[in-house]
């Protein structure tokens, strides 16, 4: 009986170890949050280009108990733009928004965009992206760029955060 169980275990280990694409862990992870301020303006049709501070993917992964060095694949699944301040504000002034990721040695890559923003929103969530960004996660530091256009005046500065969700395979 011990021989049969040992043979079964050895057989399973052989099959599992021969699969290069086998992921031990595959999960969605809320990744980096970047803070940005969109300045007030009395003009309509103003374009903003804002860059977040640098984000260290290794630190972000370690917060989730994972080493970035062992990531096989990282795919961005969603981007959320949250209004932080003013607390009574909304995105009624927003006409469009585009979020890109930037890193040294990598091309600037658009990860999400929206051209129709509903009324009274305090959060814009863009889902279903499925864009592979493994090299940005395994590489060095990266940051986000937000390009936004308003179609009405913005009476006060608006503080927003950009949060991403990645599917990570290890």
62-92: pLDDT as tens digits: 877 777 778 889 899 999 999 999 999 999 9
Most confident of 20-29, 32-41, 62-71: 32-41
Q: How far is 152 from 93, CA to CA, in rounded Å?
A: 5
Higher pLDDT, 112 or 59: 112
Domain 23-169 has CATH 2.60.40: no
C-alpha distances in Å from residue 139, one per residue of 3, 57, 114, 159, 169: 46, 8, 28, 28, 16
Write down the pTM of the prediction. Answer: 0.78
Beta strands in 4-157 (DSSP E): 26-38, 47-51, 73-85, 94-103, 109-114, 123-126, 131-132, 142-150
Residue 2 falls in which region: left (phi positive, over 0), alpha (psi -120 to 50) or beta: alpha
Residues 34 and 82: beta-carbon distance below 8 Å: no
């Amino acid at each position: 009986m011990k021989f049969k169980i040992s043979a079964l275990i050895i057989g399973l280990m052989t099959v599992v170890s021969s699969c290069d694409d086998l992921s031990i862990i595959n999960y969605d992870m809320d990744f980096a949050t970047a803070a940005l301020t969109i300045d007030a303006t009395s003009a309509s049709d103003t374009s903003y280009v804002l860059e977040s501070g640098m984000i260290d993917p290794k630190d972000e992964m370690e917060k989730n108990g994972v080493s970035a060095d062992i990531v096989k694949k990282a795919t961005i699944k969603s981007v959320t733009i949250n209004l932080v301040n003013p607390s009574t504000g909304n995105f009624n002034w927003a006409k469009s928004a585009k979020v890109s990721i930037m890193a040294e040695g990598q091309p600037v890559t658009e990860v999400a965009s929206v051209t129709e923003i509903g009324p009274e929103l305090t959060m814009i969530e863009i889902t279903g992206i499925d864009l592979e960004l493994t090299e940005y996660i395994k590489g060095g530091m990266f940051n986000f760029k937000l390009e936004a256009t308003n179609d009405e005046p913005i009476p006060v500065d608006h503080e927003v955060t950009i949060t991403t969700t990645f599917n990570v395979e290890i």
